[in-house]
Amino acid sequence: MALSKITTASLADDSVTGAKIENNPTVAGNLTVSGSFAPSTTTSGKNMIMNGAMRIHQRVATLTHNDKAVDRFQLTKNNLVTADFTTRHYVAGEAEVREFGGDSVEIKCTTADTSLASNEVVRLRHPIEAQYVRRLAYGTANAKTTILSFWVYTNVTGTYAVNFTAMDGTVRNISKTYTVSQANQWVKYSITIPGDTSATIDNDNGEGFEINWGLAAGSGWTGTNPNGAWANNTDSRNYYGQTVNIASAVNNVWYLTGVQWEEGSVATEFEQETIGETLRKCQRYYQQLMTSGQGYTTGSQHIGINMRYLVEMRAAATVTLAYDGGDQYNNLTGSPTVHRNRTDGFHAYQSANSGNYYYYYIGTSDAEI
């Protein structure tokens, strides 16, 4: 019997199976689930980008320039002759990015160059440890499709390119573009990347992957069309389609936040973390130190300086130490020397003349890729 309207009374219990429900259905109004909700794939840890909300900036204060102003992101400038930029942590007030706390990385042109040489390129780089992207199964028939989503605000409209590079073995790359048509507005963009069945990703703590946002690129970086496919890396494939030159005028700006890279072809809601979780992840690559040294010396001997890291670092770090107060500074000689350097901490010493001393030190440990 034909029914003009299906009602609850028309259906037996459990008569509608998953096979009868369309893919990606849209529900008008609220959806209430009685019982547990079990997603087919895990959502915790889905974002392979660290500090995608740009909240952690250990090296410098907000609005202070440093090419690594925001942790895990770095402005890289290759072969620039004239153009220059500042890189700063910035807090935006617009409603669109409040879910990220308003935090962003700001790139601003301070010296313009309207005619880039063929080998010049400006890019924002995000390196990723190999062991964190092994789950993508690159190099196998099951290599996974991924999607990168991010928010951009800029006064410079036009086409920008994003480069994806698998770094192990024979370096492989693919690039895709996004087009900014609305100046001075926060807009979300998404880029889908096919898996690479030929790439190598090692199971180690070295650099396995890079994502680079192109901001300006000479012709040597833009000449070869990747045609949406992975291939062995050449410079000319990296930023194909990039027409924007962020260096075209002083005070051109480009802001980035809400970066998420995940498995699949659908950009899902941004994965929120506490600021403490994100900080611990970033401290694997960079930590600010405060420690002390003490000792009793007769003649010219050493005082010991010991440091146990808050988080185990990616590799034995480059350590810098500087005196920050204590007893009889004039009795110190030379500079601190790192003696034993490990991923969980280090031992250092500094020469001192006779006496019983207690000194404070500040410094950094850097194990960034």
Residue where one domain finishes, among candidates 281, 310, 337: 281
Q: What is the pTM for the complete model shown?
A: 0.88
Residues 209 and 95 in one domain: yes
348: domain CATH number is 2.60.40.2080
Pairing of strands 207-217, 74-78: unpaired
Q: Which two tokens stand for residue 121?
A: 């390129």
Pairing of strands 103-111, 158-166: unpaired
276: domain CATH number is 2.60.120.260
Whether residue 316 is contained in a domain is answered as yes
Residues paired with residue 321 on neighbouring β-strands, in sequence order: 363
Phi, psi at residue 131, to the nearest 5°?
-65, -20
Collapse the DSSP code of 359 into the 3-class scheme (helix H, G, I; strand E, B; otherwise coil) and give the result: strand
Nearest C-alpha neighbor of 221 from the set 264, 142, 165, 268: 165
Whole-number pLDDT of residue 301: 75
Residues 154 and 252 in one domain: yes
In Å, what is the CA distance from 121 to each residue of 83, 151, 161, 271, 313?
Answer: 10, 22, 12, 31, 31
Whole-number pLDDT of residue 358: 74
Residues 229 and 192 in one domain: yes
User: Can you tell me which residue has the tokens 């789950």?
Assistant: 135
Widest distance between CA atoms in the chain: 105
Nearest C-alpha neighbor of 263 from the set 48, 94, 81, 117: 48
Q: Which two tokens stand for residue 72?
A: 């895990």
Residues 192 and 266 in one domain: yes
In Å, what is the CA distance from 341 to each residue of 7, 292, 318, 319?
Answer: 71, 16, 9, 9
Residue where one domain finishes, among candidates 281, 298, 315: 281
Whole-number pLDDT of residue 339: 87
Give the other-Cβ count within 10 Å of 140's Cβ: 13
pLDDT per residue as tens, the chain (369 positions): 455 566 666 667 666 666 666 666 766 766 666 665 455 555 789 999 999 999 999 999 999 999 999 999 999 999 999 999 999 999 998 888 988 888 999 999 999 999 999 999 999 999 999 999 999 999 999 999 999 999 999 999 999 999 999 999 999 999 999 999 999 999 999 999 999 999 999 999 999 999 999 999 999 999 999 999 999 999 999 999 999 999 999 999 999 999 999 999 999 999 999 999 999 999 999 999 998 877 666 666 778 889 999 999 999 999 999 888 876 656 778 889 998 999 999 999 888 776 766 788 999 999 999
Whole-number pLDDT of residue 315: 98
Residues 302 and 206 in one domain: no
Residues 257 and 326 in one domain: no
Nearest C-alpha neighbor of 276 from the set 90, 59, 55, 48: 55
Q: How far apart are CA 102 and CA 86, in angstroms?
A: 19
Please give the single-letter amino acid code of residue 99: E
Whether residue 125 is contained in a domain is answered as yes
User: Can you tell me which residue has the tokens 């620039």?
Assistant: 80
Residues 88 and 168 in one domain: yes
> From start to end of 40-101, where are the E strands?
74-78, 84-91
8 Å CB contact between 185 and 97: no
Per the structure, how many domains does the chain have? 2
Q: Which domain holds residue 346?
A: 284-366
Whether residue 3 is contained in a domain is answered as no
In Å, what is the CA distance from 364 to each residue of 57, 313, 320, 367?
Answer: 14, 12, 5, 10
